[in-house]
Chains A and B, each alone.
Chain A
Amino acid sequence: MFNSYTTNTLEYDAGSCINCGKCSTVCPHAVFSPGEKVAQLADPLACMECGACQLNCPTGAIVVDSGVGCAYAMMWSAIKGQEEVTCGCGDNYCCSPSPSILQLGKKK
């Protein structure tokens, strides 16, 4: 109830995994974790569908329908009749100068 984030498009075929460890390295939400023989799908619901694991998987063991999880961008694309949702901010600037987004840091 009141949770739309109970499913996503992440699919993992452990049979094709060569255990290179890239997916658990690139995932910012620890969806994958290193395993003994193959990568483990540890927390699939934490996936934000950024697509980093799919892009860096050399054997194509991971498939995810990646994109920008931004309501504004999605509604704007729908209004304009675009098939593909692109970041609503355009190519030349971004709506979020967020520290975490920019690999900028917490001060210690």
Chain B
Amino acid sequence: MNNTNMINVSMNDPASLHPTIRSTSSDITFANHRDHFFARMGVRRSEHRVEPGLYALGEPTPDSPVFASANYTLSFDALRRALVGVDCYILVLDTRGVNVWCAAGKGTFGTEELVHRIQATGLHKVVSHRVVIVPQLGATGVAAHKVKAASGFSVEYGPVRASDLPEYLRTRQATPEMRRVRFTLPDRLVLIPVELFLAPLPALVAAVILSILGGYMVAVAALIAILSGMIVFPILLPWIPTKDFSTKGFIVGALVALPFAWNAFYSVPDTAWWLRYSWVLIYMLVIPPVTAFLALNFTGSTTFTSVTGVRREIYAYVPKMAWMFASGIILMLVLALIPFIGGL
């Protein structure tokens, strides 16, 4: 899907001096955009790949810089688009179609693969210097001093974001801001489609079961709880009170549950008081743990939650979520069974 191909060019073009160098450009084609769209939607998630190896961007010379990237189309394309007008080489590691940071965490964007790819492409014959610019977030998998010892190439950590590369290349220094990972609203928004595309089937099953048990309003409440956990929560993340994701999720869930509880209490004034209170209780018990659980799971998509903190959250809140949810469902089952056992 990427905008590259093997081409035969004149002898003074560096791409023709070495048989394994492919050519690429900074142009993002319609096919690239289509591929990016599907990647962001989570469609065919493992198929957004670039062939690993060495690429020539523009007309690089033996003095031109070398940039390491992942063989994920979004990573590679972000890099070549940021390097418009820069003659350079791009060394694409085999990360099995995974972005730089995730692959670095998994170890596929790592010391071993970087050293292997440097040697396999004969990089020392292509360039006269011995420096590879690695994206900063690749450092989770790359030990710079070990790469140097094994390959002779020094690792220079570039900025976190590819878009900062032009400025970085002017000074060869990353500002503190370039070194920081953020989690801005646009960053969070692009995560929503992938989450949503995983949800329809379980959400539909839950809605059908709940509508049989407690009527259509319960099914609507369940769908809204899931949607608020997956859409409203990521958008509002920094502004929801408390630090823990679970408590943030409980707060959102309680706010979502309130109108349903209110409606259940006041829309049927001629029903027995205990039945009305029971429905208030059901909504308040079932919805908040659902959104809290979805919120807790969003930790995996963020750029700042630590293993220690997430583990503490799991121990602190998941049992409470389970108890609340189970109590609410059991209460709903009891109410659903009352007519059958000769009750009201």
Question: Which B residues are CB-close (under 8 A) to A48?
Answer: 303-306
CA A52 to CA B138, docked complex, whole Å: 8
Q: Are A71 and B300 in contact (CB under 8 A)?
A: yes
Q: Which of A27, A46, A56, A65 has the most CB of B within 10 A?
A: A56
- Chain A interface size range: 35 or more
Question: Which B residues are CB-close (under 8 A) to A85?
Answer: 307
Contact of B310 among A27, A29, A69 (CB under 8 A): A69
Known: A56-B144, A101-B101, A101-B137. A49 touches B96 (CB 8 A): no
Q: Are B143 and A55 in contact (CB under 8 A)?
A: yes
Q: Say whether chain A's binding surface is mostly helix, strand, loop, or mixed.
A: loop
CA A17 to CA B106, docked complex, whole Å: 27
Q: Are A68 and B105 in contact (CB under 8 A)?
A: yes
Q: Say whether chain B's binding surface is mostly helix, strand, loop, or mixed.
A: helix
Q: What's the least CB distance linking B124 to chain A, in Å?
A: 23
Known: A28-B136, A71-B314, A105-B163. A5 touches B300 (CB 8 A): no
Question: Which B residues are CB-close (under 8 A) to A93?
Answer: 45-46, 97-98
Question: Which B residues are CB-close (under 8 A) to A101?
Answer: 99-102, 137, 303
Q: Are B106 and A96 in contact (CB under 8 A)?
A: no
CA A107 to CA B187, docked complex, whole Å: 12
Interfacial residues of chain A within 78-108, with CB under 8 A of chain B in the complex: 85-89, 91-108
Question: Which B residues are CB-close (under 8 A) to A52?
Answer: 104, 139-140
Interfacial residues of chain A within 8-45, with CB under 8 A of chain B in the complex: 8-9, 22, 25-30
Question: Which B residues are CB-close (under 8 A) to A95?
Answer: 194, 300-301
Q: Are A71 and B136 in contact (CB under 8 A)?
A: no
Chain A residues within 8 Å of B, Cβ to Cβ: 1-9, 22, 25-30, 46-52, 55-56, 58, 65-75, 85-89, 91-108
